Structure formats: structure tokens, C-alpha cells
Amino acid sequence: MQNTIEITHLSRVEKLMVTEVIWVDLTHEEESLESPDWHKLALQETEDRLATGQEHSIEWKKAKIELRKRFE
């Protein structure tokens, strides 16, 4: 059975609220979801780069600023 909900008439705030409700619902299923192998590999590769100094982390606030500049 497929349910279709018309969301184009919703305000931005309402759409964000719907997104939040869906996200919370999805997180209740977290234990039943298994990460795909490609994702585990990508995480391991990032950890390896961090350990060898080839990768560095930055604060989320700074990352958002850099990403916004990149996509302006």
C-alpha cells in the first residue's frame, strides 16, 4: 500500500517539523538497520587517514561556514 502526502502546500517550518517526526521514527529502527559494507569501509579509511595525519577534523560550526562558502 502506498500513501502519498501532498506537502507542497506546507510552509518551510511545517516541512521541517514533518522531517523531524520522520527522523525520530526512523531512529527507533536503528538497531535493526545494518550499515552497508561500503560505509564501514569508508569510515575505516577516514579513521586511517586521521591516524596517519592525512586527514584532520574541524569544528562543526566552522565546517558549516566552509560548506556554505563552497556552495554559494
State how far the alpha carbon of 32 is from the alpha carbons of 25, 29, 35, 44, in Å. 13, 6, 10, 22
- Residue 31 belongs to domain spanning: 12-70
Q: Residue 1 domain-assigned?
A: no
d(CA 48, CA 41): 10
Task: With a cut of 90, say whether residue 52 has pLDDT above it.
Answer: yes
Residue 20 lies inside a defined structural domain of this protein: yes
pLDDT band for position 3 (cuts 50, 70, 90): low
Q: What is the pLDDT at residue 33? A: 76
Helices (H), 1-72: 12-27, 37-51, 60-70
For the chain, how many structural domains are there in total? 1
Is residue 53 domain-resident? yes
Give yes or no for residue 1 having a pLDDT over 50.
no
